[in-house]
Structure 1
Amino acid sequence: MYKENGLDYEDPFAPEGEGDVNYRTLEWWQASMIMIAETISLGILSLPSVLATIGMVPGVILIVGLGILATYTGLLIGQFKIRYPGVHSMADAGEVLFQPLGMGRFGKELFGAAQTLYLIFSMASHLLTWTICLNTITNSATCTIVWSVVGLVVFWLFDLPRTLKKMSWLSIASFISIFVSVLMTMIDVGIEKPGKHTMKAVEHPTFQQAFNSVSNIVFAYAGHACYFGFMSEMKTPTDWPKAVTLLQTCEIALYVIASVVIYRFGGSEVKSPAIGSAGPMVMKVAWGLAIPTIVIAGVIYGHVAAKYIYVRIFRGTRHMTKRSALATGSWVGITLCSWVIAFVIAESIPQFNDLLALISALSVSWFSYGVAGIFWLFLNKGKWFSSIRNIFMFISSIFVIGIAFAICGIGLYTSGYSIHNASSNDAWVCKSNAQ
């Protein structure tokens, strides 16, 4: 039980051996594999086109730099969780942050709504990628909306288990899936060299194009909104730094290698998602190999979204860890409704890069960067300038908060402008989006 500032937090997951459902089952490496499956999926497919838009040098600098910042902010989120072990979601964290101001309920609802919005939009991006994948493999055998409905059912069925234990093993398959798919794409473009125009060290895009590219890099490191949920299901939450370090090492290395190689041989006309730059036959095979990561990563987002809603409803009741009719029926209903909403968004914003940029501006900017800086300031209130280390941490925290403001404000403008200018004829139609 955790009590402070008038809050009474009880860990929503009962200790091992209590109840029918044991949630705290993850080793640190299993948590890391789930996060790898969650983040190294759709994000990597947009990065080669980012380099084609802004150039090789600034692109690589931004991929590495934002990756290092994402590592730093991930560690700060872990510190907050250790200090407040009853925090299960960003909503709980928002309540803690706003409680000293007497606005705990407002903070809880604000952060909870933002987290749910981010997760639902991310689910929509996986549904959109699913339709691109199936249309490409089958030569658009049926209506795109039909493929989207099929995806809705598939993702929902995989989200029916209530714990992440089995998902940790599926996440290994997800990582292998995207790794082999991207590797195959890199080999093919290296052999075929489809790019009509060679790569450039620096490109000269419009401001809107450049900032949307930055937003796509930010999305590639998204996942922080789910971190509290992952830590809550770890056997030893203090092992969190090891999980984050493994995740970010894999991310940065794979992102740089894949984006540089595919852009180098795909040229300035490289496609997004990047698999579309491969030859016709290899592209179909690569998309087929990518299906596990498209599904599993989307399912993880769906699981975290549903788990947040479920915990909000049943926290502190026997239904939290029981397999009662009410508990099971509620979980089924919550997951289904979540995927239906994601389906509506995916059909309404059918442009891949624009959807990723919008997600980044709305939520990822804060969950991946700004909120972590606020966490450090909150945890160290009154000690900001007590040592050289704290002064450095204070400056770093202010810096990441500033980055969040910039990405959020400018990103909303540029992504909204791009979506506005996109053809509205692509929404809610049977027209193929195959590459």
Structure 2
Amino acid sequence: MDLYEKIMNRQEKISLVGLGYVGMPIAVSFAKHVDVLGYDYNAEKVDLYLQGFDPTNEVGDEAIKATSVDFTADASRLKEAKFHIVAVPTPITEDKVPDLRPVRSATKTLGQNLTKGSYVVFESTVYPGVTEEICIPILEEESGLKAGVDFKVGYSPERINPGDKEHRLENIVKVVSGMDEESLDVIAKVYEIVVEAGVHKAESIKVAEAAKVIENSQRDINIAFMNELAMIFNKMDIDTNAVLRAAGTKWNFLKFTPGLVGGHCIGVDPYYLTYKAEQEGYHSQIILSGRRINDDMGKYIVENVIKKLIEADRPVKHAKVAIVGFTFKENTPDTRNTRVIDIVHELEEYGITPLITDAVADAKEAKHEYGLDFVAMDDIRDMDAVIVAVSHDEYKTLTVEDFDTLYADNGPKVLIDVKSMYERADFENSNYIYWKL
């Protein structure tokens, strides 16, 4: 009886190492079929799960209350499982280089609790070579076991899209890889327990690692192209979205839109790829050019805020500006690596301290990550300009009348619609100076 069969017969458990926006939904999904141990070093987060709360809003409180996942912050309990999935963040440093400390730390913890016959699958986004050149040696050193003999290792890149209720673990094809044919077969069968769309068996671990970083690098480059178009068309006084709607009538036109690019994937993964490329002696041209464009969008948006304030005959220094929405994308509480923070910092360069509100964001996380305090929407009054930065569902239905309450009564009102959610004519007909990407 192989490990897959033992897992199906509940003789062995699956563990999830890391219970964030990726790991927790995976744990909940597997727990519908097999026994799952969910581990995270953050005892406070684990306690929320034990109380039936979902701080990520990925599966919801009811699903957490109903799940059979055995949540724990006790790393020694990892010895109870034989199939381990590592799903921890892989951020970048301020210098835009990979920060492998979380994955190194999780691997060390797992290695200290690894038992013979175990399988370890990494889901964290990394550059090609990390699993075999960095993670396996750590596992061997901490466990005293030999990879390929006492335990097996694989890599399966996560494809969960935070806040996306349509594209889920179950209906996205899962790329899987293993260090040999046996491990590839077992890993594929285990993921097929939950992935209804099926699996794609990659030829090697490095192929699977590379596939992940290019998926998001491709999206990053396409969005950078849209952002560059937005800057060009803005100078020509052409509506970018009108152009994209027209071009989108062609069957093979790729429908991307301009905007801020943050989060832990699209704004991060390209740097993992270019870092490894530079180690191999190749300096990226297209990928890093796209990154520079996207990283500068916060500055570009604020430059236009300032221009519109001047157009409205309002003083720039100490202007009253509100930012509506702070998360890295719509309908998720996650504020990590949000590029809205670039807007905040750029405004501060002009002597403007904005008020920030977000109906969805994890306020505690934002305080910890950025030292920011949010205000309620009802507390925003007498503004000179309002920047709607995130297209949460709650903000899509706001009307001209709703916005009217946010401004001082006298003079034109400046509205910056980063996500192009509203109709320009509605606002320009109501004494607004309206600008969008």
TMscore range, shorter length: under 0.3
Structure whose residues are more often strand by fraction:
2
Q: Which has the higher contact order (CA 8 A, sep 6+)?
A: 1
With normalisation by structure 1, the TM-score equals: 0.24
Normalising by structure 2, what TM-score? 0.24
The structure with more helix, counted as a fraction of residues: 1
Of structures 1 and 2, the larger Rg is shown by 2
